[in-house]
Amino acid sequence: MFTKDGLGSGVVYAKDGLILTNEHVVRGNTNVEVAFADGQRIPGKVRATDAIADLALVEAQRQDLPPATFQQQLPRIGELAIVIGSPLGFENTATSGIISGLHRQIPGSAASSQSLVDLIQTDAAISPGNSGGAVVNSRGEVVGISEAYIPPQSGAVALGFAIPAATAVQVAEQLQKNGKAEHAFIGLAPTDITPQIAEQLHLPDTAGVLVLSIVSNGPADKAGLRPGDVLLSLEGQKLNAPEDLLAALRNKAPGQAVNVEYRRGNDTREAKITLSERPAAES
């Protein structure tokens, strides 16, 4: 998939020319060029995007395409993983490896992106240009959409990440039907607790997620949380970093009530927070 800013990959989602890709691949573009495996290049129009899940639908003027089959159950660690796409512009490239982890968060990503949580990890090579392409299993079923990699200069060896197929399909169906996807909103800004912050706030340790700010009249505000509170768990799931909170919210729905354990000063408390739909300004 070619844009004015670069290129990426995609997966045929529907036979009438609907292509699923990453939002960051088409960001800032309304028109793209879609290159198919048979060599044809067709103009495409960005139909809908979702920056929270980093997914987008592109409509290409082509009919009777073979749509991909998505396996919506999570793969097992150790299963074959084949990454298909156009890394660095090399079209129709396949690299292979295994599924090497599930429910991964990329540390520190919450400060700049809400999409790098609850990901599938693979050691199959993912490079620039693979974004938005398929990660498939030995049966040719899509188990994930290539999302990111940690480059070798960071000291990483074969660390690639993909959006699980179930998440991709859930968001794609909403984008196809409504032009947007719903996401649960808790109404607070989380941040890591560093040793320096723990010392400054007289916290006993660096466990948990610090509430940096609260959205006025939002879900957390209505439940009585305040800036400076330390979130310890959500629905019993321990929170060690902001990415853990984003991951815990990923499979929750607007209107759903969740139990949160938090610490205020020396007291450990519980609150029930009714999540809302993420406001447009927050997306």
CATH number at residue 234: 2.30.42.10
Is the same domain home to 102 and 56?
no
- Angle made by CA atoms 242, 10, 94, in degrees to the nearest 5: 95
Whether 54 sits among the annotated catalytic residues: the reply is yes
Alpha-helix runs per DSSP H in the chain = 23-26, 165-178, 195-200, 219-222, 242-250
Q: Are residues 173 and 194 in the same domain?
A: no
Residue whose C-alpha is closest to residue 180's, from 44, 279, 70, 71: 279
pLDDT at 222: 97
In a domain, 67, yes or no: no
Q: Tell me, what's the pLDDT at 283?
A: 47
One domain, residues 193 and 255: yes
Last residue in a domain, options 126, 158, 178: 178
For residue 194, what are the domain limits?
A: 184-282
Taking residue 15's Cβ as centre, other Cβ atoms within 10 Å add up to: 12
Query: What is the tally of structural domains in the chain?
Result: 3
In the residue annotation, 244 being an active-site residue is answered as no
Whether 201 and 267 map to the same domain: the answer is yes
Given the residues 24, 100, 127, 229, the one annotated as active site? 24
Question: For residue 72, is it within any domain?
Answer: no
Q: Of 9, 50, 54, 229, which one is the catalytic site residue? A: 54
Coil, strand, or helix at residue 270? strand
In the set 9, 115, 131, 233, the catalytic residue is: 131
Tell me the Ramachandran region of residue 189: left when phi exceeds 0, alpha when psi lies from -120 to 50, beta otherwise. beta
Provide the pLDDT for residue 180. 94
Whose tokens are 């009585």? That residue is 224
pLDDT averaged per 10 residues in sequence order, the chain, 283 residues: 93 96 96 93 96 96 94 96 94 95 90 88 95 97 96 85 97 96 95 93 91 96 97 96 94 95 94 92 51
